[in-house]
Amino acid sequence: MAEMTIKRGGVEIATETFGHPSDPAVLLIMGAMASMLWWPEEFCEQLAEQGHFVIRYDNRDTGLSTSYPLGKPGYTLSDMAEDAVAILDGYGIKAADIVGISMGGFIAQRVALVHPGCVRTLTVVSSSPLGIDDLPAFTDDYSAHAVTAETLDWNDRASVVDFMVRDVRMIAGTAHPHDADAALQLIERDMDRAHSFANATNHFLVEGGDGEKRLAAADLRVPLLVIHGTADPIFPAVHGEALADAVRGAKLERIDGGGHELHRNDWPQIIGAIAAHAGAR
């Protein structure tokens, strides 16, 4: 495991790697409000053991990467996609297997659409297709929970921890027991490590940034694997199905009872699917 900060203009992106640099690279892109820690270290190690050089990193406004004024992110999803490309450049990598989860799935799709030469394969986990807008929203229970974030004092650590603990519980799947203690430890570790954990809420204000150009998953021309839990409350399973249907030759890996998470019990299926997809490119 090794750390490196990638600099792109005035932006600093904290990264960490697992495995041998001579192995094919896998770039992991995390979702909204989550630092690289939400790609668990052991998950990354197990993926590296499959013969991959694994890179995880903190998106802007998370972890040790550059943060912005609260409520004024000053960057777009397109900028975040360019950050991913800059990370590959920083490591001297011409092309990688790109894996994005949730918001990271949107970023990963943008990388593959705008810089297809940088992408050997694309894996999108618990996300939704770009360019398709008529898909179901959050479940009612999760929507009721999410709206409480609007009145939360994000500078009150106890309140934020309580909200995040409830959030992680609500996005969990139905197939396996939820580990509340492990979730609390991860949340507190993430908060302790961040420049300003509250600034991660900037992610909810970030727009596409593509001007008049509308990006669409149907235009993807790289090998695509979609991994999606059947009990995902944020992006119901139809989102993953729509993404796989939109891209010719795409594969869909369903996680039975899986939520909007990387549950440890599902790692063998998830890691195995990613490794097989990358190996079959």
Q: Judge contact between 231 and 126, C-beta under 8 A.
A: no
pLDDT at 234 exceeding the cut of 60: yes
Rounded Cα–Cα distance for residues 128 and 173 (Å) = 18
Token digits of residue 71: 């409520």
Residue 168 to residues 78, 232, 240: CA-CA distances in angstroms? 27, 12, 20
pLDDT at 210 exceeding the cut of 70: no
Cβ-count burial 204-225 (b if 16+ within 10 Å, e if not)? eebeeebeeeebebeebebbbb
pLDDT in tens, 153-179: 988 999 999 999 999 999 999 999 999
pLDDT at 211 exceeding the cut of 80: no
pLDDT in tens, 137-154: 999 999 999 999 889 998
pLDDT for 279 equals 82
Mean pLDDT on 27-43: 98
Q: Judge contact between 235 and 7, C-beta under 8 A.
A: no
Residues β-bridged to residue 124: 100, 226
Q: Judge contact between 80 and 107, C-beta under 8 A.
A: yes
- Helix or strand (DSSP H, E) at 27: strand 25-29
- What is the separation, in whole angstroms, between the first and last Cα of the chain? 26
pLDDT at 212 exceeding the cut of 50: no
Owning domain of residue 188: 2-279
User: Phi/psi at 68 (nearest 5 deg)?
Assistant: -125, 165
CATH number of the domain within which 15 lies? 3.40.50.1820
Rounded Cα–Cα distance for residues 107 and 167 (Å) = 22
Residues β-bridged to residue 8: 11
Rounded Cα–Cα distance for residues 265 and 273 (Å) = 14
- Name the average pLDDT for the chain: 95
**Angle, nearest 10°, between helix axes 157-170 and 180-193?**
130
- Helix or strand (DSSP H, E) at 226: strand 224-229
Q: How confident is the model at residue 187 (pLDDT cuts 50, 70, 90)?
A: very high
Catalytic site residues? 102, 232, 260
Number of domains in the chain: 1
Q: Judge contact between 86 and 191, C-beta under 8 A.
A: no
Rounded Cα–Cα distance for residues 195 and 185 (Å) = 18
pLDDT for 76 equals 95
Range list of β-strands (E), 71-217 = 96-101, 119-125
- 208 vs 236, which has greater pLDDT? 236
Q: How confident is the model at residue 71 (pLDDT cuts 50, 70, 90)?
A: very high
Mean pLDDT on 251-264: 98
pLDDT in tens, 83-131: 999 999 999 999 999 999 999 999 999 999 999 999 999 999 999 999 9
- 55 vs 210, which has greater pLDDT? 55
Rounded Cα–Cα distance for residues 182 and 166 (Å) = 13
